[in-house]
A and B are shown apart, each in its own frame.
Chain A
Amino acid sequence: DGGITQSPKYLFRKEGQNVTLSCEQNLNHDAMYWYRQDPGQGLRLIYYSQIVNDFQKGDIAEGYSVSREKKESFPLTVTSAQKNPTAFYLCASRPGGQQETQYFGPGTRLLVL
């Protein structure tokens, strides 16, 4: 089955620690996105990538980093500079071109110890 997988489902971070959230898709989509979801605030865009080896900052990129070395993978690192990382993180992908619909993974919940 084609789809988007995110792992782990739950992730715990200690103070000063960097953690990496995985996002993999086997849909052959060109574009991939990372969103952060906080209660009552909807989804906010962190980073996005239209093609391999290229990515752009979204609205709340500070304290986060990404890479896009392979078409199917778009990992997100939450660095120690992100002072309030507790949230639900959602990865999405889009075929590219004129196809505007984004398809979402199941999400990773990050909690701070």
Chain B
Amino acid sequence: GDSVTQMEGPVTLSEEAFLTINCTYTATGYPSLFWYVQYPGEGLQLLLKATKADDKGSNKGFEATYRKETTSFHLEKGSVQVSDSAVYFCALSRGSTLGRLYFGRGTQLTVWP
């Protein structure tokens, strides 16, 4: 079945460090891929998405490229800030499954000044 595997956390970085959070998926067909972010005590916010192979999603300095050959959608940011501290979720959706999302377990990121 459809599933998403994310890098285990927590991830702790100093401000201005480079960030990578790995995400791989299993799905038939051509799913859409998403990264959501959750700040403490809040709901999830869409960070970026990609709907087909080789698409790059980007937002707020974060990027992820849809790699079908490696079934991956790794999240990257060149220089993290303290305000980026949050939990990051990778997810996939296939239109044939009534729009439901399959989530990874989430990766906690803490950035120190």
Contacts and interface: CB of A to CB of B under 8 A. Distances in A.
Contact of B45 (A50, A96, A104): A104
Interface residues of A, number: 26
Contacts of A102: 46, 99, 101
B103 A100 contact: no
Contact of A50 (B32, B34, B93, B98): B98
Interface in B21-44: 32, 34, 36, 41-44
B49 interface: yes
B44 A100 contact: no
Contacts of A6: 43
B67 interface: no
B44 A56 contact: no
Q: Main SS of the interface on chain A?
A: strand
Interface residues of B, number: 22
B100 to A, nearest CB: 6
Contacts of A41: 105
Nearest to B36: A104
Interface of B: 32, 34, 36, 41-46, 49, 51, 89, 93, 95, 98-101, 103-106
23 contacts: A6-B43, A31-B99, A40-B105, A42-B89, A42-B103, A42-B104, A42-B105, A43-B89, A45-B101, A48-B98, A48-B99, A56-B98, A94-B99, A98-B95, A100-B32, A100-B49, A100-B93, A100-B95, A101-B46, A104-B45, A106-B42, A107-B41, A107-B43
